[in-house]
Structure 1
Amino acid sequence: MALFTVKTSKKVETNIRLEESTAKMLDRYAHFHKGPADDVVNEALEYIFRHDKDFQQHLQKNPDEEVAASVRIKKAPGSVKGAKSAAKSTGSTNGSVARSASAVAPSDAK
């Protein structure tokens, strides 16, 4: 039985980097769910956010905490500045496999 249900919702586009073995398992899990890998990633993260008790306590203790954004959200098509900065930010040489996935911004979820 699957741990969560994959559903679609409003998305923003971002790039994530995964270990090659994780990317392969993501593809297999998406195939198992008969849905796109983007939705699997989103639902897996939402599941973690809901079920991590330590994280939930942290959120309650720090409701207005602002953190530096580490996820780069791609700008809408037609945004020249966004396209240039996205192209610069995707280059890396640490040996990980780059995979593209869409993720729901936490404020857009449910």
Structure 2
Amino acid sequence: MPLLEITQTRQISASVRLDGATATQVDQYAAFIHASADDVVDKALNYVFSKDRDFQDFLKTPQSNKVTSTLRIRKVPVNEAPEQPAKKPIAGVKPTESVQVSKA
């Protein structure tokens, strides 16, 4: 039996607006726990959702399935890695081959 159980989840990209002070605290908390800001927001929301008893009761009602989405989700093609933009040379600098330097 493996010692670790890895659960892959489907992640999406979404835009949200935060108060400036909240955004700063998200970054500070991420630094504090050595995680990304995305992880902080995701885990904090999951924590709140799981602890709010009224919300848990709401999820059991038919109304919870009829909620209109207001989250701005960025559409990404399925099974397609994002393309890396081609690197452009700096103006006035020509690309050269690598040069080896030998000690005399």
Q: TM-score, normalised by structure 1?
A: 0.57
- Amino acid of the residue matched to residue 12 of structure 1? I
CA RMSD of aligned residues (A): 1.9
Query: Residue by residue, what CA displacement relative to the aligned partner does 1:51-93 show, whole Å, maximum 9, x if unpaired?
Result: 100101111233762111110110116xxxxxxxxxxxxxxxx
Match of 1:5 in 2: none
Q: Which has the higher strand share?
A: 1
Equivalent residues in 2 for 1:46-65, closer than 5 Å: 46-62=46-62, 65=65
Pair 1:45 & 2:45 matched:
yes
SS of 1:17's partner is: coil
Equivalent residues in 2 for 1:1-110, closer than 5 Å: 9-62=9-62, 65-76=65-76
**Poorly superposed stretches of 4+, deviation over 4 Å:** none
Query: Residue by residue, what CA displacement relative to the aligned partner does 1:1-21 show, whole Å, maximum 9, x if unpaired?
Result: xxxxxxx95310011100000
Larger Rg: 2
Larger relative contact order (CA 8 Å, sep ≥ 6)? 1
Distance in 1 (CA, whole Å) between partners of 2:53 and 2:40 is: 22
Q: Which has the higher helix share?
A: 1
SS of 1:65's partner is: helix
Aligned length: 70
Q: For the structure 1 residues 58 and 67, does the alpha-carbon distance in structure 2 shift closer, same or farther, using more than 3 Å as the test?
A: same
| Stretches of structure 1 lacking an aligned partner (at least 5 in a row) | 1-7, 78-110
| Stretches of structure 2 lacking an aligned partner (at least 5 in a row) | 1-7, 78-104
